Amino acid sequence: MPHVEIKCYPGRSEEQKTRCAEEVTKAITETMGCDASSVSVAIKEIEKEDWKNKVWDTQIAPECDTLYKKPGYTC
């Protein structure tokens, strides 16, 4: 039952977010061997000025050892 939560700055269209969720679902089903019906994808928009406080400091930095893809930036 993979669940993916994507956080990003606001500004993407509903069409872009839907396509992103579809592509993430496709990648998960192909690489992890599960059915698309088992996958859920959330996209949450975080304002740029809130990124460090709401995402970097609480989810990225403290969980760095579990990130399979690390960001190429720091806050």
**What residues are annotated to the active site?**
2
* 22 vs 9: CA distance, rounded Å: 19
* 45 vs 13: CA distance, rounded Å: 11
| 3-class DSSP state of 33 | coil
> Helix (H) and strand (E) counts for the chain?
2, 2
